[in-house]
Amino acid sequence: MHGAGNDFVMLDLRGGAEPPSRAVTQKLGDRHFGVGCDQIISIEDPVEPGTVASYRIWNSDGSIAGQCGNGARCVAAWVERELQLPAGEPFVLSSPAGLHEVLPLGKGYYQVAMGVPSFDPRQVPLGAQIEHEALTYPFRDFEFSAVSMGNPHAVIVVPEAFMADVMEVGDAMQISPLFPQSVNVGFAQVVSRNELYLRVYERGAGETLACGSGACAAVAALVRRDMLDRKVSVALPGGRLQIEWPADDQPIRMSGPTAFVFQGELIV
């Protein structure tokens, strides 16, 4: 499946099937010797009351991921189809980052409540103890804002997103001791108060065509800096996402497309 070009191998592990080993996730994620994807996502039986399913996420290098916004929408589409849920009715999924209310919008589009962004350096996490109000600070010759969406993000404002040194800066950020669990690095170009261009260099996957949690993180960080309104259209290389953050203490909501590409049986 994919969501705005961010692609996934979805594994049906309902009924207590064992999760894939690191070697299997690496093989699946390899675009030359495997299926090829940005992340591998397991769909599993519900573990929380009131949910219809749970899921876990692995990056293509085999490392564990805490959140994936485009993946959450793909899980929603898969679950709605496989469980034959009532069309248009909301439901709840559980992920490593918590519970997510899903609203089907029709024609393969879904809105997912992604949780309340955290700017607490302990939650990102950051390898530095700094005040909550000082989360934009220098690193090399640029500044970034740090935010957690259940996974760590650094957001850098750039004049032109598609001219940014994504790989060079992304690699430098990901090995920085400031980010002990590495980091997803977003390069954000503010077009207007309700439109953003964004590229994201993801930990464990490199640059992807879209990053849902990265879009949420970028909007949250720049709303906090009074550079954006609370309803923003985010253009990424693979498509557009709609991000809404009604208030600081409310979940940020992401809407966007999903697509089924092909399906098969994994023999290991």
Going by the annotation, the residues of the binding site for substrate are 6, 39, 59, 69-70, 151, 184, 202-203, 212-213
- Residue 95's Cβ-side half-sphere holds a number of Cα atoms within 13 Å equal to 28
Q: How far is CA 50 from the centre of its chain?
A: 23
Question: Of 40, 34, 33, 30, nearest to 8 (Cα)?
Answer: 40
Q: Which residues are annotated as a binding site?
A: 6, 39, 59, 69-70, 151, 184, 202-203, 212-213
Helix (H) / strand (E) element for 80: namely helix 69-82
Tell me which of 37, 68, 74, 216 is the catalytic residue: 68
Q: Which amino acid is at 106?
A: G
Residue 68 is among the residues annotated as catalytic for this protein: yes
CA distance 268 to 266: 6
3-state helix, strand, coil in the chain (%, to 5): 20, 35, 45
Tell me which of 37, 74, 211, 216 is the catalytic residue: 211
Tokens of 79: 């679950």
Residue 216 is among the residues annotated as catalytic for this protein: no
Tokens of 229: 């309104």
CA distance 130 to 134: 7
Residues annotated as part of the active site = 68, 211
